[in-house]
Structure 1
């Protein structure tokens, strides 16, 4: 269920200590009189906060603040010591007052929450049994059929439903694939720069991670050839569309060369295309060229719909479906049935297509505005995306962005340092900037 603004605001006030433990809250009528919420919203928020243990309902007397209200507030200072300086942890746990310029998701204002809420209510009416049942281990079959249609339309990939497996977002998809493919000591290639969590995920399985420089049209083929001439490689992990963090796209000739190397040197290609649906055009994928012979394709709806909606999927060779399904059964059993039916609903009725069309156009316009604003202050870009969220930026006069990151944090602006995307290269002079969180008020801080 999408969070109600009044509930979110009242919870924040409780955690900030506006009312001490044991004090009675103003009445429902008083909150309604403030004009920020309806009677229904206030009563629902009170009930939810009571269920969370932050309020105690006393019949005939009202609602009282519990000691848990202040204790439940999460701050970086209360986090484990090792996490306090972690940039990603700060972005994920930071409050709504922060400008999360370095994050990997859309701001709340970019999400049509009313449209999604309507689809949720419609799904709840039609699929009430899904509220209480386990989902299908392979994934809701009507959804997998819709995914087949969706992928055919967007990428030309012709994949049957029985070669699709739903997952708890792309993170679980990559985890399942890595558990299956990678053994301790295996050499694994990744884009560099790349998602630091992916590097740690592979290392968790015992893999030896090697970065291949990302160019404007995909991985550096010459660098890949040189490494393959010396080492046996198990897999190559790659973002194909709006690469994280550079924003670049895969070209057909680059994809063809990578797949030829995969065939010659017997390694698998793991294609992470979680940003693919932000592309308004037919996009190039490894999976479509390869027809899923040596490719496992990962997609997700979390980036474009809601970070809390954990629905991703894997398209894979037929012989890998069963072992991946067994791993999914061991680790999570199934994706929540209601979430799968919700995604199916918006794919079937066109809601998703309309939502994405609006997002795609907004992203294109926002990229132009952000790139122009940075250029005015002398910043340069490794690539100049025409869509998507990311920019990989640097300034000729700055060798290390640590000072800028610290300075912007004092203004409640959080960034991701280039080092977070490194495997072996020095990226201290780089920043990942999410253009959807960029605004004129933010741009003034980038004057060097």
Structure 2
């Protein structure tokens, strides 16, 4: 059976394997090859079409991977039978807004046309050239160098790079003090599981990173909110809280806080560290957005050393969320215990991802890329704040940098269901909003929302708020 005549040299870059795959697929689609029919053996197909057996074997295996052929090793290849017809997809329904949706389901939900409440950069903002170059370099690495589980602390060259980078911020560290993790969120989980126990009391910012609240709750740790201010934490509230409860730790985001976008001032940082020293509190510093900052800001771990501070960061904001590479830095004894926790939870972290991150960070494209991102975010802040002022929003703070704004539309105060009710209404219109209630330990709903400025330019978003103002439900 002759299905095609190979063209040499291949036209338009279509290799001989590509030509064979296309010919067989066309024969299947035209019903020349029917479901269940046995194909010629690899040697026979190669002789009939004047191809190498390697070319035919590669083509057959590619068609197996695509589900067009079935393979019985050592026996034959035959045309795969079509999969049973699936029932028609149900009509789309808006998901139910809630903490579970915000923290997990939303990552699998691609139905939202406008993601004003999300926590990451748009896909077309990423350093595509740097990432592609890193992946090309990765495929050149011999498989044997990546076949094992890797070091418990993570890929050493990346840890060296991180240590050198942090030195530029005044934080003296070496690679042996750094533990790589599956994202910064896992780093927080590892610290909580290692340094705390069920029933312990901790202070968190109010509002704070929503996933942190879930991690603390799952580990049985009791979280108390301390108001976040544009300068840092409300020190009087933290001092009173430490006097009322046996606090073990305080969790803070130093710069471009999620969700308010606020950054600590130097005075605010010193006051927090003084309180931590007075009450013997472990300070867990979440610092994932520093690379998006326009100007210098305090780094607690550099001011107080890792004796008092556990430093957590990652590359979801500066490189790419799906890379899932984070890290923590702390004093040696705690680091050893954190490494044991990491190994107990899931063995080593993914060295392939760590190698990719290392290559991106060492490539000369990352610096100019980040400068461009900071500029675009600054413009997005200006535009979003202007739209909010025109719409009568209350803006808690205007950082001018980073991803987030914390703002309150008057519609949320008028809406019968508050911000949560307004967010549920927005979902039906294909708009994802992040209600402020999910960022507070006590789930208070005071009408606030977290806005991602990189996703807040769509006219339909502001048309929705205008309509909600005219017709509160």
Interval of TM-score (by shorter of Structure 1 and Structure 2): 0.7 to 0.9
- Bigger Cα Rg: 2
Look up the match of 1:178.
192
Q: Which segment is superposed worse, 169-178 or 281-290?
A: 281-290
Question: In the TM superposition, what whole-angstrom CA distance separates every residue of 1:62-96 from its partner, at most 9, and x where no partner exists?
Answer: 777534x95898999799x9989733344212116
Deviations along 1:266-299, one digit per CA (max 9) or x if unpaired, are 1100001111211133331111111212100001
Query: Structure 1 residues 188 and 84 mapped into 2: Cα distance closer, same or farther (>3 Å)?
Result: closer
Residue number in structure 1 paired with 2:233 = 219
The CA deviation string for residues 84-136 of structure 1, in whole angstroms up to 9 with x for no partner, is 97333442121165221111111212123343122111122146444433221
- 1:12-411 superposed matches below 5 A: 51=65, 55-57=67-69, 66-67=83-84, 70=86, 86-95=101-110, 98-126=113-141, 128-153=143-168, 155-396=169-410, 398-399=412-413, 400-411=418-429
8 Å CA contact 2:204–2:252 kept in 1: the answer is: yes
Separation in 1, partners of 2:269, 2:90: 44
Aligned counterpart in structure 1 of residue 462 of structure 2, from 438, 443, 447: 443
Give TM-score scaled by structure 1 length. 0.82
How far 1:390 sits from its partner (Å)? 0.7
Query: Which segment drifts farther, 211-220 or 347-356?
Result: 347-356
Q: Is the alpha carbon distance of 1:89 and 1:26 closer, same or farther for their aligned partners in structure 2, counting shifts above 3 Å?
A: farther
- Select between 132-141 and 92-101 the one with higher mean Cα deviation: 92-101
C-alpha deviations, 1:124-181, integer Å up to 9, x for none?
A: 214644443322111111111100111122x221111111110010111011100111
For residue 318 of structure 2, give the secondary structure of its aligned residue in structure 1.
coil
Q: Distance in 2 between matches of 1:240 and 1:412?
A: 33
Whether the 8 Å contact between 1:87 and 1:415 is mirrored in structure 2 is: no
TM-score (norm 2): 0.78
Report the CA distance shift for 1:117/1:71 in structure 2 as closer, same or farther (over 3 A). Answer: farther
Structure 1 residue 413 corresponds to structure 2 residue 427: no
CA separation in 2, counterparts of 1:144 and 1:73? 47
Structure 2: how far apart are the matches of 1:75 and 1:174?
Answer: 39
Preserved CA contact (<8 Å) 1:25 1:64: no
Mapped partners of 1:304, 1:63: distance in 2? 44
In 2, Cα distance between equivalents of 1:78 and 1:410: 5
Provide the residue aligned with 2:53 in structure 1.
none
User: Aligned partners of 2:108, 2:384: CA distance in 1, in Å?
Assistant: 25
Specify every segment of 5 or more residues in structure 2 that has no aligned partner in the other structure, as ranges.
Answer: 1-27, 32-57, 72-76
Q: Deviations over 1:211-270 (max 9, x none)?
A: 000001111111001111222210001111111111100111111111111111111000
* Aligned-pair Cα RMSD in Å: 3.1
Structure 1 unaligned runs (5+)?
1-23, 28-43
Say if 1:397 and 1:408 are closer, same or farther in 2 by CA, change over 3 A: closer
- The answer to whether the Cα contact below 8 Å between 2:201 and 2:224 also exists between their aligned partners in 1 is yes
Give the Cα separation in 2 of the matches to 1:101 and 1:132. Answer: 40
Tell whether the 8 Å contact from 1:246 to 1:382 is kept in structure 2 after alignment: yes
